[in-house]
A and B are shown apart, each in its own frame.
Chain A
Amino acid sequence: MPPATTTASVPMPGSLLNHSASLRRPFPAAAGRLLPSRGPRPLVQVNSAPRRRPATAARAQSASAPDYLPDSEFYKIEAILRPWRVSHVSSGLLQMGIRGVTVSDVRGFGAQGGSTERYEGSEFSEDTFIAKVKMEIVVCKEQVEPVIDKIIEKARTGEIGDGKIFLIPVSDVVRIRTGERGEHAERMTGGLSDRLSPVITIS
């Protein structure tokens, strides 16, 4: 069920809004597009600067046409990282209580306006794909910002090629083994949710 039916006035945390109206799209996934879609990444881009909800809410209200703002209980954090940083990042995530992560090997390149990325000593421009790793984590809304901060802290080197993080709203989470849906399915015992709110009421 697309979460578009819920109120569109509550913006997604940190989402960059394209205020030039007419972005009524049939699919709830993409709310704004700054870059031309390049292959497997037609996703919302997260702007790390504005994270205060009230400010973005005010901006949203002032838009002439009602933009669609996906809001959801869960978000998938998709991080494209350098392969040798993954163990660093995942141990950092484990320390903070994030216990479910999916990792896949991908190749990619992102142009940086003329500067080149160095990989294995050589400089690479736009025509070669470099090996990266995609890390996907689905968490509930409150945990999104801490996870993003932790990934950036562990993966950042300051050189071109550090990667990007994308935030995708997820409409539902289902645990296959038990059939649980929603918050119960997302919650992992001993994880961050347990640390933040140690009392679990299971009906």
Chain B
Amino acid sequence: MLVTKPSLSLALPSVSLPNPNLNAGWATPFASSRPRSLRVSASSSLAPQPAAAALNRVGILSEALPFIQRFKGKTVVVKYGGAAMKSPKLQASVIRDLVLLSCVGLRLVLVHGGGPEINSVLHRFGVEPQFRNGLRVTDAATMEVVEMVLAGKVNKHLVSLVCLAGATAVGLCGKDARLLTARPSPDAAELGFVGEVARVDPSVLQPIIASGHIPVIATIAADKVGQAYNINADTAAGEIAAAIGAEKLLLMTDVSGILADRDDPGSLVKEIYVAGVRRMVDEGKVGGGMIPKVECCVRALAQGVRTANIIDGHVTHSLLLEILTDEGTGTMITG
């Protein structure tokens, strides 16, 4: 974008250009104080230069090339949950990032949770939510509502957001094409219809991804006799990543990652091996809520996923930071 005053366009090539947002009045005193030697160089390069902001933008894009090349055509599973799903502003930003990654060639799979919605809908239906040791008890009535909310409301809302942002999404739940088959988890006796992943059949995902759509998966699944179970979204995301041979598993949470010292928010562990993270769990350095996420990451890594990341949903553009920069964000666990 050229500067408005034509007399200046020749004089400016070797100096950082004035921001196009500045009005032309700024530029004049600038030009008059320029030393004469620049006039000589100016005359030799007559091509007008683009403005600083545009140069900046394309410079950053160009730096992202190695990362785009590394991940082009690879599959990444993103588990979407926590605060990033609650605030509409963060939601819009995450969806936008997902669409951007999809446009540059990554094959994305989105897995979501959705606990907070369930409580409000349960109230509307007049069902009292029960909790035991902080975990929800999913009896038959609750299971019906959970299935409706997760596979119906939350899932379709995310699908429409992605479509509005310019990509296309297909909403699935574990029951579709037997994507996930559940079995009752060991504490199902107390907690009701909570399941673990018994089998994953990813064959329905291949044609969807191949034709350029983003699968959005709600982790409700049926067992062998058709009884519906609610499976923890982190666990299901890990097993789906293993089943499709994903390159990366990203768990979006509400914390910045694994902290080496729980009381020091600055002690974020940026990169760690499976052995190291197991040691941290054994030493009790990993907080209670983080342990299931870490276990699911380790299980995914043991089954061939290249890296598993725990990132903070509060950070804007956390997805782009993790995939398109060297520094990344959050904690990366590698094999």
Binding site for B on A (CB under 8 A): 82-85, 88, 118-123, 156-159, 161-162
Give the complex CA separation of A139 and B242 in angstroms: 35
- Which B residues, 204 to 240, have Cβ-Cβ distances below 8 Å to chain A? 239-240
Residues on B with C-beta less than 8 A from A161 are 302
A119 touches B198 (CB 8 A): no
B283 CB to closest chain A CB (Å) equals 15
The SS class assigned to the B binding surface is helix
Give the complex CA separation of A119 and B239 in angstroms: 9
B335 touches A121 (CB 8 A): no
Known contacts being A88-B335, A157-B274, A158-B274, is A122 close to B301, with CB within 8 Å? no
13 contacts between A and B (CB under 8 A): A82-B302, A84-B304, A85-B335, A118-B302, A119-B303, A120-B202, A120-B242, A120-B245, A121-B242, A121-B243, A123-B198, A158-B275, A159-B299
- Which one of A83, A118, A156 has the highest number of Cβ atoms from chain B below 10 Å of its Cβ? A118
Contact of A121 among B199, B274, B275, B301 (CB under 8 A): B199
Closest partner residue, chain B, to A124 (CB atom): B199
Give the complex CA separation of A18 and B245 in angstroms: 43
A156 touches B275 (CB 8 A): yes
7 nearest A-B pairs in the assembled complex, by CB-CB distance: A121-B200, A121-B243, A121-B239, A157-B302, A159-B302, A122-B199, A84-B304
Residues on A with C-beta less than 8 A from B298 are 157-159
Residues on B with C-beta less than 8 A from A84 are 304, 335
B278 within 8 A of A: yes
Known contacts being A88-B335, A157-B274, A157-B335, is A120 close to B243, with CB within 8 Å? yes
Residues on B with C-beta less than 8 A from A162 are 302
Give the complex CA separation of A88 and B197 in angstroms: 28
B197 touches A121 (CB 8 A): yes
A122 touches B200 (CB 8 A): yes
Give the complex CA separation of A145 and B315 in angstroms: 47
Other CB < 8 Å A-B pairs besides A118-B303, A158-B275, 20 of them?
A: A83-B304, A118-B242, A119-B242, A119-B303, A120-B304, A121-B200, A121-B303, A122-B197, A122-B201, A122-B239, A122-B243, A123-B197, A123-B199, A157-B302, A157-B335, A158-B278, A158-B298, A159-B298, A159-B302, A159-B303
C-beta contact mask, B242-255 vs A, less than 8 Å → 1, else 0? 11010000000000
Residues on B with C-beta less than 8 A from A122 are 197-201, 239, 243
Closest partner residue, chain B, to A160 (CB atom): B302
Give the complex CA separation of A122 and B298 in angstroms: 15
Closest partner residue, chain B, to A153 (CB atom): B275
Give the complex CA separation of A161 and B304 in angstroms: 12
B302 touches A158 (CB 8 A): yes
Give the complex CA separation of A22 and B36 in angstroms: 103
Residues on B with C-beta less than 8 A from A83 are 304
- Which B residues, 251 to 305, have Cβ-Cβ distances below 8 Å to chain A? 274-275, 278, 298-299, 301-304
A118 touches B275 (CB 8 A): no
Closest partner residue, chain A, to B201 (CB atom): A122
Give the complex CA separation of A88 and B335 in angstroms: 9
Residues on A with C-beta less than 8 A from B304 are 82-84, 120
Give the complex CA separation of A88 and B245 in angstroms: 17
Give the complex CA separation of A122 and B201 in angstroms: 8
Give the complex CA separation of A88 and B278 in angstroms: 19
Give the complex CA separation of A119 and B243 in angstroms: 8
Give the complex CA separation of A157 and B278 in angstroms: 9
Closest partner residue, chain A, to B196 (CB atom): A123
Contact of B303 among A120, A156, A158 (CB under 8 A): A120
Closest partner residue, chain B, to A84 (CB atom): B304
Give the complex CA separation of A161 and B301 in angstroms: 13
B99 CB to closest chain A CB (Å) equals 26
B242 CB to closest chain A CB (Å) equals 4
- Which one of A82, A85, A120, A156 has the highest number of Cβ atoms from chain B below 10 Å of its Cβ? A120
Closest partner residue, chain B, to A123 (CB atom): B198
Residues on A with C-beta less than 8 A from B242 are 118-121
Known contacts being A158-B302, A159-B302, is A118 close to B335, with CB within 8 Å? no
Known contacts being A82-B304, A158-B274, is A118 close to B199, with CB within 8 Å? no
Residues on B with C-beta less than 8 A from A156 are 275
B47 CB to closest chain A CB (Å) equals 49
Closest partner residue, chain B, to A159 (CB atom): B302
B239 touches A118 (CB 8 A): yes
Residues on B with C-beta less than 8 A from A118 are 239, 242, 299, 302-303
